[in-house]
Homo-oligomer: A and B are copies of this chain.
Amino acid sequence: MDDVRWLSADEQEIWRAYLSASVSLAAHVDRQMRQHAGMPMAYYEILVRLSEAPHRRLRMSELADASLSSRSRLSHAVAALERNGWVERRPADGDRRGWVCSLTDEGFAALAAAAPGHVTTVREHLFDVLTPEQLRTLREIGLAISAGLKPACDAARAEDAQDTQDAEDTQDPCDE
């Protein structure tokens, strides 16, 4: 951990420009969603993924992957959405461990009501401020980052899987 490849001045500028933009844009979009639709952006994402699924229903684990949330987060979120009447949970047939989450008509209506404001915000603060060339590159950048992140996420899951087994052997020596 001693031979760190520190960031050059240029790289720091890039990282900070990216970080600032992504944090600010996320905050702005989330804020708009809360004010206008009464739910955080993460919940909107869940409704969107459900609305696009066949029969507007998905297994919890599939919904978690699609909406980029952890299982725990999804559990809490779906519980909250269920209290709103926007979503329903029923046991999956064929696997008595699983649950299927489905979007109700009220949930779809809430989604439809929230969509215009959301899209307008995204267009205004992303598509209207970038050139077509920049947008093409942004798509590539997004795909590259996601691809580079996938191994790390898989590794994290793999760790969880065997965490119950090994406890006392080789921990990585992070000085902290």
Within 8 Å of chain B (Cβ to Cβ): is A53? no
* CB atoms of A21 and B146 under 8 A apart: yes
A interface: dominant SS: helix
Spot the interface stretch: A87-95, A97-105, A127-135: A127-135
Beta-carbon contact of B17 and A135 below 8 Å: no
Let me know if A153 is at the binding interface, CB within 8 A.
yes
Q: Are B141 and A21 in contact (CB under 8 A)?
A: yes
The stretch that binds B, out of A6-14, A54-62, A162-170, is A6-14
A160 at the interface (CB under 8 A from B): no
Apart from A14-B135, A14-B139, A24-B153, what are 8 other A-B pairs with CB-CB below 8 Å? A7-B122, A17-B146, A18-B126, A21-B143, A23-B68, A24-B145, A25-B149, A125-B145
